[in-house]
Amino acid sequence: MPPRPRPTPAGNGSQFAFSSNNWAPGDFYEATFSTTGFTDINLSWDQARSSTGPAAFKVFMSVDGGLNFADLLSYTVLQSGGGGAPGTWSNTTYNALYTNTLNLGVAAENQGSVIIRFQNAEALASAATGSNRIDNIMVYSGPVPAPGAIALLGLAGLAGRRRR
């Protein structure tokens, strides 16, 4: 028996996106990851909404297991398809207009657990059919140099200066 198609809608240049409707104020998508051994942590994601889906969102971050959240960013989610939308999400064509990026700052560096919330900041509930999609969530950075490597890099810089 062949696999059944997934009910999830098309992503932004990817096969599927995570989609939700019936949004109430404060509802959120959440991602958890480790940054142990990494610095300069960056986050990118694609997000779109229907014409009746929530547009106002915030990004929150916790590094203490969800006890406290820092408010990092307020942003507006663009509409996908329909009047005035910059485009329509397609599983074959990526549209950069729907991509958001954010540097998470030093608080996210070298943490065992980082929780990110993409939270609805609308004051009222969206229409029952109002949807929001999120896709292509990526966390990226550079490795934390080993303490010995920093000393070696410093010595190499001094040796390079002596030769000149």
Q: Mind listing the pLDDT tens digit for each residue in 86-117?
A: 888 888 999 999 999 999 999 999 999 999 99
Q: Mind listing the pLDDT tens digit for each residue in 43-81?
A: 999 999 999 999 999 999 999 999 999 999 999 999 998
Under 8 Å between Cβ of 132 and 55: no
* Token representation of residue 89: 């999400």
Asked if the model's pLDDT at residue 150 lies above 50, the reply is no
Q: For residue 163, what pLDDT is reported? A: 38
Question: Is 83 strand, coil or helix?
Answer: coil
Under 8 Å between Cβ of 91 and 11: yes
Average model confidence (pLDDT) for the chain?
84
Q: Say if pTM beats, i.e. exceeds, 0.95.
A: no
- Tell me how far apart the terminal alpha carbons of the chain are, to the nearest angstrom: 72
Contacts of residue 90, Cβ cutoff 8 Å, sequence gap at least 6? 10, 12, 13
